[in-house]
Structure 1
């Protein structure tokens, strides 16, 4: 990865709908160069996908919460992955080490709707306990550009100037 890779990701992050041709023009490189860089970052697993960021609040889901799950160790994770994917209000989840096994980010239409979603999750066979905290305000989410900036420092390739 170099500064051009960083500039490409920065541009697509700031302008999710930008075309490869427009990105090439803005960054002053050939369109095939942009496409080749995107393909290479996908092949290496650096770039999973370039998708628009969706905001749940304007879609009618203004309540966000972080819910931690403990799973019944006798049952294990088993089908829990698919069970959680079947709950549309679960927008992110990860396994964890420590006293809790899974961390969920969930959204809801209201606090009472949040209770409905938590109850639905708590009834899943593998779940033995839940703990939920309501998100008051997102201060920073998915902050990967500073990490990528750090990873590409001093590589010598020109990119966009900030």
Structure 2
């Protein structure tokens, strides 16, 4: 989907000022409220905007330890292991991957002992062969999409 300069400005406002009303967004952007709403509807319909909920901090919720756990799975069991991962509340993301493993999970924990308990729970899932864990020390670049949106909005392809 092509994202033009107005879309980029809308997305920037949504990311920087998520609690502002549509009426205020339209005023800031200098466009009619109907124009803004049509753009928002299209961005949602095209899957660019996927949600409007708050961003939550696992650390503030008492889970400051972040680890990436690679999981190797017995052939033919990827779907069932993936489904079982959804039942582990400390797993906040999981992806099928290529390379040195089958699944990559993002896991949060209260402390290192809790992380070990979660890993032991994963190892016991039917179809899991082994795990490899990497503990994050410090976040260097927080999750962000605005630089990507802005680069797409500036690209010559977006002008089409």
TM-score (norm 1): 0.87
Shift of 1:59: 0.8
TM alignment of 1:52-67, pairs within 5 A? 52-67=54-69
Q: 1:11 corresponds to which residue?
A: 13
Aligned residue among 42, 49, 67 for 1:40: 42
**Root-mean-square deviation (Å):** 1.8
Shift of 1:23: 1.5
SS in 2 for 1:152: helix
SS in 1 for 2:154: coil
Q: Distance in 2 between matches of 1:16 and 1:99?
A: 38
Shift of 1:19: 2.2
Runs of 4+ in 1 over 4 A off after TM superposition: none
Q: 2:94 corresponds to which residue?
A: 93
TM-score (norm 2): 0.88
Q: 1:159 corresponds to which residue?
A: none
Is the contact between residue 17 and residue 52 of structure 1 (CA under 8 Å) also seen in structure 2? no
Q: Distance in 2 between matches of 1:126 and 1:6?
A: 44
Shift of 1:77: 1.2
Is the contact between residue 16 and residue 51 of structure 1 (CA under 8 Å) also seen in structure 2? no
TM alignment of 1:12-161, pairs within 5 A? 12-73=14-75, 75-153=76-154
Is the contact between residue 64 and residue 134 of structure 1 (CA under 8 Å) also seen in structure 2? yes
Is the contact between residue 65 and residue 136 of structure 2 (CA under 8 Å) also seen in structure 1? yes
Is the contact between residue 90 and residue 109 of structure 2 (CA under 8 Å) also seen in structure 1? yes
List gaps (5 residues or longer) in structure 2: none
Q: Distance in 2 between matches of 1:96 and 1:149?
A: 28
Deviations 1:35-64 (A, max 9, x none): 211211122222222332111111101111
SS in 1 for 2:130: strand
Sort the Cα spacing of 1:34 and 1:80 in 2 relative to 1 into closer, same or farther, 3 A: farther
SS in 2 for 1:129: strand
